Amino acid sequence: MLNKDEQKLLLGEASIYTGEGVIFNMTPSPGATSCLGNAERDLKYIVKYLGKNFKEDKFKDELTDGEYCALPQPIASQKAVVNLIRAEIQRTQEKFFQELHIGKPNSDFWDKPHSKL
């Protein structure tokens, strides 16, 4: 993931829960260390969103051997990250939509090499 404001590449594991039925996960390779914990965390969000439930005891009995890694990141901080991403998408769309879809190309368009045949 890129932080465009700080111009930095963000490495590591991240999960964004929008609260709107979408979960975004980013796991560095190999990722197996935390995938089951993340799956359980995401499952809890999904069943709550759908108004369902699941048998947590059975899940743990069949799929785990005790403690495992899970991201405890608070939803509020995840929403803040989602809002930053949405704002950047909006800025990019506004910039390029004007150039591509409204009126004619900018005057410097014709000076670019691709326009000279």
Which tokens belong to 93? 């769309």
Residue 67 has pLDDT above 60, yes or no: no
pLDDT beyond 70 at 87: yes
Note whether 28 and 38 are within 8 A (CB).
Answer: no
Extents of the domains making up the chain: 2-115
The pLDDT-based confidence of 66 (bands split at 50, 70, 90) is low
| Cβ neighbourhood burial of 85 (10 Å; 0-12, 13-18, 19+) | middle
Residue 115 confidence class, pLDDT cut points 50, 70, 90: very low
Percent of the chain with pLDDT over 70: 65
What crossing angle do the helices spanning 56-63 and 32-50 adopt, rounded to 10°?
160
pTM for this predicted structure: 0.44
pLDDT of residue 116: 44
How many angstroms separate the CA atoms of 17 and 82, rounded? Answer: 8
